[in-house]
Structure 1
Amino acid sequence: MTKISTYILLCLLFLGLSYLEAQEADSAEIPLMFTIRGSVIESDTYEPISKVNIEVNGGAYTTTNSQGEFRIQVKMNDELTIKHSDFETVYYTVKSDERLTVKVEPNNRQDAGALRSTSKYSQSQNFRTLIDSAYVYLKKDAENSIQFLTEALAISSSSRENAEVYETLADVYFQWKQYDLAVSNYRISLQNEDSEEVNLKLAKAFKFNKNYQESIGIYESIDMSQLSNWQLTSLYEGLGDVYFAIQNFEDAINNYKEGLKIAQLNLITPKVTDLNSKIAEAYAAKGDEDNAGEYFDKSLNLATQENKKRAAEEKVKVADFQNKNRAYDDEIKNRQEALEDIEDIEMDTIIN
């Protein structure tokens, strides 16, 4: 009886060990981080789609190549966001390391969020007054702003006026962070009349909607010779912002510096401050603490010469950088000064 019991116990132990080894083998098949390969194609034609934005919820980013293919580092249960201006955004949760094929249908809803004419005003209503009224309400009442634009569209008498209506509508959507609708309406505006200013806005909206490749494409297509110095500075700043978002810090820094040159040459003071700050952030993200510190010193000095609000913002940003670098005394000093600036701003608001 004892021999039988011992035999059974040994068998159970062997089976248990075998089970654990099998479990370990299964878990070892897919490492914690692994590369998933995939492609994005049109569902009806099977044509590959290039420059599709592929982003992991943890921050990794890539794009599809000319064959519609991509590779990206992920882990189990990561969510991929697959985004392009020509189709609805696709979300995919990683469940294995198998190759992924994403079939999409072209997005024909170019008029998403566009206006429909429901005018209650007479045709004699002044177009300019309606546009101006829309701008008055743009930041405080989107519904009222859109209503004024609806009426403006009803009495619009040219492509130029149509373009202005849709540009303003896109501005409203951008203000209220509905970036997909902003993109749609900037594009409609451009269909009515081409404008480098609207192209700049479209590129920025694409960036905020995480259509990074589309944003880069628009920025690079703009005729720089037609831009004012402010617009040209904004273009380089915008490109820098996109490259920063996709963690291409070298190109971000290069574009920020190009914008900074133009801003300094033409005495565009707010941009000089902002771009010094952004260069510092990019260097910090890249791990170059020395250059980051140098540019943060410049941005902080410039911000204190502007106004208390801008100074407070920069002091908080610099304090965060100092915290990461364990410069605690300097951090405390900047945070205290930022609080004092904020208190002064609040006091000025009460008095006025």
Structure 2
Amino acid sequence: MIGFALLMTTFGRTQDKSPVSNVADVEVRVSRHWAYLDSARTFKTTDIRKSIDYISRSISELDARENRKELAESLVLLAEVYTFYGQFDLAIANYKEALDTRYSDMTSLSLGKTYVRNRQWGEAVAILSPLEDNKTLAPYNRVEIFEALGEAQAGLGEVNKALAYYREGLTIATKNQVTPKIPDLNSKIADTYASVNRMEEAGAYYDNSLKEAEKQAPQRAVKEKEKVADFLNKRSRYEDEIQLRKSSLKDLEAIPKPSKPEMGMAVNADSVTRQGINYKIANAYIAQDQYAQAIPFLERSIAEADLEEDLVVQKEATRSLSEVYRKQGDFTKALETYQKYVAVVDTLYLRKEQEISRATQLNREIASIQNRITGLEQERELSQSRYDLALAEQRLTEESNKRQLWIIYSLLFGMFLMSLTAFFFYRSNQKQKLANNLLALKTLRSQMNPHFIFNALNSVNNFISNRDERSANRYLSDFSKLMRTVLENSEKDFISLSKELELLELYLKLEHSRFPDKFEYKVEVDKSIDREAYTIPPMLLQPYLENAVWHGLRYREDKGLLFMKVSKKDTDTLEICIEDNGIGRKKSAELKTDHQKRQRSTAMRNIKERIAILNDMYKTRIEVIVEDLEQNGTGTRVVLNLGKGR
């Protein structure tokens, strides 16, 4: 809340100032805005938290009506920060906000490029096409427009259109000597030809890209050599590939090693490494059954990967070396190397879990900061209104002192202002109540999602611990699909019933894959129900399904049944019933630890609070009843009544 606190402090200071001094105060605040923005640029590529916080401070200094240019600058920089760290959805949202605040061709270009990076091809074409004929932009920017349009058309499968855009960009780059873009465009034209198996044309443009890249920085030349080498590999020209990659290794020897990125910095996925090149050379030898020549390159790759802590390449090179020893008949070395491979895999999985945990924490922090910035505009408008009101009252007081004859009219005017003030305060209180409810909902959702993610990651960890890599991969694939759905719905108060059912069925599939011998499940939906006509809070039913599996069915000695039925209670009300024949609530409570009891109590309380807030805000009719299924206390039934629409 640093940006908001600074805004309130600024408002408190300006309340005591006269209209004459207000002009100077505005200039000071705008000056502070640019200072904060410069600080944000300084930390853009090194510390995302500091960078975004400084942007938040810069926005808090602005007047929403008078400083539209400065506000757009802040929003564009915020989008650039999110783009650098791969948060493309947030970047797109802020670029759009910047365009709504103040249109700019450069902002449109940046938005189009971000659409391309986020694989939103159609949106990229729509925002970039109007810029094609803009001759006022610098040549470099015009090249970027055609390059991005080419990538978007390639993504849409329009090969001929993509080639036309790439060639137009190449023509502009050649004519205006935009040398950094010439090898890029040659390479992308080659990629496009290769994608449709036109290898002769692809080879010619790869040769051009390599020649142009060699005229530039050594790092750029090495990167292009590796790309051409990959092309040679696809055409089985292994000797040419090997010679080109060995040349890349020599070039890398003359290039200083880059320093390791600090925590929180984005890592370039396209970087060329010695361990990666050695591994690819070895693979080229293996493809020709030249195992003796491959072994030294695999060993160098493993050693360099270990030194650089590149576990991915180290894993693949170690596995390949084990395979080579096996094919040579040296089973002792093959087994020894395979054991090293298993150890690297274990280390890699552990690191991936840690990276997922850190990424989750960072994403939560980013979401919190973004929410704060989004609400900052409303807070600033409210503060500006209060400030304007204070100035009006000051003018009224001065006028009444000068003109005693108008005291009656002044009193009437003052009463009018007081009534107006009361009205504004009443409306402000209503807005504040709504804002508090929205904040409470976001808080409750943010408490539910990490709990759900943590349980799911425990399931992945169990597969990994049991060396069940195939099940772990399959589980991770379904889990990633589920997570994408959960995150897409995480900012929404309501989603359609159809989306919620899809999410729940995917969740049950994942839990069933974890405990296939503990329960079966069945989902039954009345065919007469229009699933799109009903809306439901996301992730409202999932905790009840989780309780049924983890606290009821999991403790049965034989296989149980989890049954969910969706039916009509009356014309405008659905009844969603979840039943399980587990051990029951009483016996489950006896088996829980104190921590588990507190955790479950917190989860159920969160659901009740969400329902209460939503019923209050949207006047919905959501109610939940939990009862024992059988008289002896076994089994549990959860009944949720859901009104149609909101």
Structure 1 residue 173 corresponds to structure 2 residue 79:
no
> Aligned pair in 2 of structure 1 residues 276, 192: CA closer, same or farther (>3 Å)?
same
Report 1:43-54 matches (<5 A).
Answer: none
Structure 2: which amino acid aligns with 1:321?
Answer: F
Query: Who is 2:56 aligned against?
Result: 150
Query: Who is 1:328 aligned against?
Result: 238
> Aligned pair in 2 of structure 1 residues 349, 203: CA closer, same or farther (>3 Å)?
closer
Query: Who is 1:226 aligned against?
Result: 136
Q: Which is further off, 174-183 or 128-137? A: 128-137
> Aligned pair in 2 of structure 1 residues 118, 166: CA closer, same or farther (>3 Å)?
farther
Structure 1: which amino acid aligns with 2:209?
Answer: S
Structure 1: which amino acid aligns with 2:120?
Answer: N
Report 1:265-304 matches (<5 A).
Answer: 265-304=175-214
How far 1:116 sits from its partner (Å)?
A: 6.6
Gaps of 5+ in 2: 11-27, 261-646
- The C-alpha deviation readout for 1:80-114, integer Å capped at 9, x for no partner, is xxxxxxxxxxxxxxxxxxxxxxxxxxxxxxxxxxx
How far 1:321 sits from its partner (Å)?
A: 0.2
Query: Who is 1:262 aligned against?
Result: 172
Preserved CA contact (<8 Å) 2:143 2:173: yes
> Aligned pair in 2 of structure 1 residues 332, 197: CA closer, same or farther (>3 Å)?
same
Query: Who is 1:41 aligned against?
Result: none
Structure 2: which amino acid aligns with 1:132?
Answer: D
Preserved CA contact (<8 Å) 2:44 2:51: yes
Query: Who is 1:313 aligned against?
Result: 223
How far 1:349 sits from its partner (Å)?
A: 7.7
Preserved CA contact (<8 Å) 1:203 1:219: yes
SS class of match (1:194): coil
Q: Distance in 1 between matches of 2:150 and 2:251?
A: 29
How far 1:155 sits from its partner (Å)?
A: 1.0
2:39 to 117, 133, 140: 133
Q: Distance in 2 between matches of 1:332 and 1:313?
A: 15
Preserved CA contact (<8 Å) 2:3 2:57: no
Larger helix fraction of residues: 2
Structure index of larger Rg = 2
Q: Which is further off, 216-225 or 287-296? A: 216-225
Query: Who is 1:49 aligned against?
Result: none
Q: Distance in 1 between matches of 2:259 and 2:52?
A: 30
How far 1:277 sits from its partner (Å)?
A: 0.9
> Aligned pair in 2 of structure 1 residues 181, 116: CA closer, same or farther (>3 Å)?
farther
Query: Who is 1:237 aligned against?
Result: 147
Preserved CA contact (<8 Å) 1:131 1:165: yes
Query: Who is 2:598 aligned against?
Result: none
Query: What percentage of aligned pairs have identical amino acids?
Result: 33
Q: Distance in 1 between matches of 2:200 and 2:146?
A: 24
How far 1:119 sits from its partner (Å)?
A: 2.5
How far 1:347 sits from its partner (Å)?
A: 5.8
Q: Distance in 2 between matches of 1:337 and 1:247?
A: 35
Structure 1: which amino acid aligns with 2:37?
Answer: I
Q: Distance in 1 between matches of 2:193 and 2:72?
A: 40
- The C-alpha deviation readout for 1:247-267, integer Å capped at 9, x for no partner, is 322211111000000000000
Q: Distance in 2 between matches of 1:333 and 1:216?
A: 40
Structure 1 residue 199 corresponds to structure 2 residue 105:
no
Larger strand fraction of residues: 1
Preserved CA contact (<8 Å) 1:240 1:253: yes
Q: Distance in 2 between matches of 1:310 and 1:136?
A: 25
> Aligned pair in 2 of structure 1 residues 306, 190: CA closer, same or farther (>3 Å)?
same
> Aligned pair in 2 of structure 1 residues 190, 347: CA closer, same or farther (>3 Å)?
closer
Structure 1: which amino acid aligns with 2:239?
Answer: D
Preserved CA contact (<8 Å) 1:173 1:179: yes
How far 1:118 sits from its partner (Å)?
A: 4.2
Gaps of 5+ in 1: 1-114
> Aligned pair in 2 of structure 1 residues 292, 118: CA closer, same or farther (>3 Å)?
farther
Relative to the length of structure 2, the TM-score reads 0.35
Q: Distance in 2 between matches of 1:335 and 1:145?
A: 39
Q: Distance in 1 between matches of 2:148 and 2:114?
A: 10
Q: Distance in 1 between matches of 2:102 and 2:189?
A: 35
- The C-alpha deviation readout for 1:203-234, integer Å capped at 9, x for no partner, is 11112222211110001122523322111110
Structure 1: which amino acid aligns with 2:242?
Answer: I
> Aligned pair in 2 of structure 1 residues 348, 234: CA closer, same or farther (>3 Å)?
closer
Report 1:115-126 matches (<5 A).
Answer: 117-119=4-6, 124=29, 126=32
Q: Distance in 1 between matches of 2:151 and 2:46?
A: 27
Structure 1 residue 248 corresponds to structure 2 residue 158:
yes
Preserved CA contact (<8 Å) 1:117 1:153: no
Structure 1: which amino acid aligns with 2:76?
Answer: E
Preserved CA contact (<8 Å) 2:3 2:53: no
Structure 1 residue 182 corresponds to structure 2 residue 91:
yes
Structure 2: which amino acid aligns with 1:233?
Answer: V
How far 1:290 sits from its partner (Å)?
A: 0.9
Query: Who is 1:85 aligned against?
Result: none
Q: Distance in 2 between matches of 1:141 and 1:215?
A: 29
Q: Distance in 2 between matches of 1:136 and 1:172?
A: 11
Relative to the length of structure 1, the TM-score reads 0.63
Q: Distance in 1 between matches of 2:167 and 2:137?
A: 18
What do you get for the CA RMSD once the two structures are aligned?
A: 2.1
Q: Which is further off, 156-165 or 205-214? A: 205-214
> Aligned pair in 2 of structure 1 residues 271, 332: CA closer, same or farther (>3 Å)?
same
Preserved CA contact (<8 Å) 1:119 1:150: no
SS class of match (1:227): coil
Runs of 4+ in 1 over 6 A off after TM superposition: none
Preserved CA contact (<8 Å) 1:196 1:226: no
Query: Who is 1:160 aligned against?
Result: 69
Structure 2: which amino acid aligns with 1:131?
Answer: L
Preserved CA contact (<8 Å) 1:219 1:239: yes
